[in-house]
Structure 1
Amino acid sequence: MKLTPVKRSENVAPEEFLQDFMKPCKPIILKDFVDPKSPAFEKWNYDYFKQIAGEKKVNVYGSEIESIDRVASKPIGETTFSDYLDLISSKATEHRLFLFNLLSIKPEMKNDIQYKDVTKGKILKWLPFMFFGGKGSITRNHIDIDMSHVFITQFQGIKRIWLFPWEQSDLMYKLPYNFHSLINLQEADYEKFPALKYLNGYEAVINPGETLYIPSGWWHYIQYETEGYSVSIRALPSSWLEKWRGFKNLVVIRHFDNAMRKIFKEKWFNYKVKIANKRAQKALKRQKNFQI
């Protein structure tokens, strides 16, 4: 597996971003996608969050390895937002908050973020999401079901994200009818999963104030180097093919997979594992033939 550092840049003109990054689907770290003078950088902290929403109940998520056969993992428990913030502040933990939309609970907070929109109006500023995690927590390797372009801005802490293009899905041992892969990249077993040797991706380490652009359909594996939180916003898929894939995933694929899992249970999962391995073997053979 080869990882190339993602390029960092600032003062990127919209024309340059659209032509050199969004159109060819190439990741980049933007240092000024969110205006450094945005009130969020001064107002937001854990004490402020506790004050405005500390009593809110939140679903807590843990390791996703045990739910490898599901589109989305189930929460492992519930607590108050205040207690969760105390937890991640006090020790390393794999506990995360998934799509906890504090910005919907307190919509006035959206005004605390000012964007430098390099997409010429494509980003959905009205639909932000917040992600919180403890030091050492991870989000399994996946593609976003709606195939949107994603802009993830770090506000506290440090995240390490590995990125791989859609075209490498078979090398990734992608489970059919799912949107994640069979393996944990951090503990990659190259003997059991030899196709992983041929992965060619990117590594992004994003610090507070920086924004990672994740192109439509790209795989991303997220690791919390420290506790912290980020805000992501999306832009709709660019091409009709990406839009069709997103629509099909949302309306057809996930419901079909849920139904088959209920009917056939473990047999359905075993079938998907067999197909993932078969496709990976074919992709591996193509890679070897290409190098001859």
Structure 2
Amino acid sequence: MILSPIDTVTTISKDEFVEKYYKAQKPVLIKGLAQQWESYGKWTLDYMHDHVGELEVGLYDNKPADPNKATDKPVKVMKFKDYISLIKSQPSDLRIFFFIITDKLPELLKNFTYPDLGLKYFKRIPTLFFGGSESRVLMHYDVDLSDLLHFQFEGKKRVLLFDNAQSPYLYQVPLSVHTVYDIDYENPDYEKFPALRYAKGYEIIMEHGDALFMPSGYWHFNRYLEAGFSMSLRSLPNTAGKFLNMLNHVFVMRYSDKLMRKLFKAKWVNYKQESAYRKSQRALENSQKA
């Protein structure tokens, strides 16, 4: 992989953000953006422990999805306070996925302000994600094709970002928004996945209060380096073409994949993995000829 530093700023105006990053669909890291919030000090694991501790939450780990089970089924359920105590006290790959603030912790809506950057936020689903120090999230892009403003809190997190144009080199699985399961993006095996050498992207280390703008359709791999959590604010597609593409992703592609998975289970998963490898191999051969 060819990884470059990302544009990084400490302050940015709405006009500059819109012209240089939003319209250009180019990612940018805004250091300490959350520090502008009056309740910035409440964005801690301890606050979550004290305010939503009794709620039971589903947890996920780093293992690939079982083809014989629903992909959204958690591996474990426990009280939120016990989960936070666990990830603060020891290494863990357990994580919480898509914790919708408006449903689970609406009082938290008063603890942040939507940044005035020209994004039209979808305010129904500001979403939290939690992870232990061993947690990682499979390389993927979001199925709703939103532009994301992604905040990090507590521990550091490593993020890899790739434009969707890099899909041929990332071993994208057909009818899916993720890559093959067995790529280790922390120690890539270029013998097994040679096309990865040609993938051009960004490497980012996020810290407490940082915000990362991830344009629509950008691939991202997240690795929690320390126990922490993040929040994503979403801005839905703003053109007719992007909106139709989003509908296709959400209602056609996703449910077609679920149906095939239900009917053929492991055979379908294996077919997709093999197809991804063949397509990336062709992209590699074309690149070598160029």
TM-score band by shorter chain is: over 0.9
For structure 2, list consecutive stretches of 5 or more residues without a partner in the other structure: none
Residue 110 of structure 2 is aligned to residue 111 of structure 1: yes
- Residue type of the partner of 2:261? R
Partner SS for 2:121:
coil
CA separation of 1:174 and 1:222: change in aligned 2, threshold 3 A: same
Match of 2:238 in 1: 238
What is the 5 A alignment of 1:7-22? 7-22=7-22
Q: Identify the residue that residue 140 of structure 1 maps to in structure 2.
A: 138
> How far, CA to CA, are the matches of 1:153 and 1:244 in structure 2?
28
| TM, length-normalised to structure 1 | 0.92
- The sequence identity of aligned pairs, in percent, is 35
Contact 1:160–1:222 (CA under 8 A) maintained in structure 2: yes
After superposition, residues 90-129 of structure 1 pair within 5 angstroms as 90-119=89-118, 121-129=119-127
What are the superposed Cα offsets for residues 152-196 of structure 1, whole Å, 9 maximum, x if unpaired?
A: 111211111000110111211100011100123223221111101
Q: Which runs of 5+ in 1 are unaligned?
A: none
Q: Secondary structure at the match of 1:209?
A: coil
Counterparts in 2 of 1:274 and 1:69: CA distance versus 1, 3 Å: farther
Query: 1:277: how far off?
Result: 1.6
Q: 1:156 corresponds to which residue?
A: 154
CA apart distance, 1:102: 4.2
Matches within 5 A, 1:1-292: 1-31=1-31, 33-34=33-34, 36-67=35-66, 72-119=71-118, 121-182=119-180, 183-290=183-290
Map Cα deviations across residues 114-139 of structure 1 (whole Å, 9 max, x no partner): 233212x5123442111111012101
Q: Which amino acid in structure 1 is aligned with residue 176 of structure 2?
A: N
What's the C-alpha RMSD, in Å, of the aligned pairs? 2.0
Further displaced range: 139-148 or 122-131: 122-131
- Supply the distance in 1 between the matched residues of 2:262 and 2:9 (Cα, whole angstroms): 47
Please state whether the residue corresponding to 2:173 is helix, strand or coil.
coil
In 1, the alpha carbon distance for the partners of 2:88 and 2:101 equals 18
Counterparts of 2:70 and 2:143, CA distance in 1? 9
Q: Number of residues paired by the alignment?
A: 288
Alpha-carbon offset, residue 67 of structure 1: 4.4
Cα offset for 1:285? 1.8
- Cα offset, 1:43, TM superposition: 2.6
Secondary structure of the corresponding residue to residue 86 of structure 1:
helix
| 8 Å CA contact 2:32, 2:208 repeated in 1 | no
SS at match of 1:232: strand
The 3-state SS of whatever aligns with 2:77 is: strand
- The whole-number CA distance in structure 1 between the counterparts of 2:65 and 2:200 is 27
One-letter amino acid matched to 1:3: L
Q: Secondary structure at the match of 1:163?
A: strand
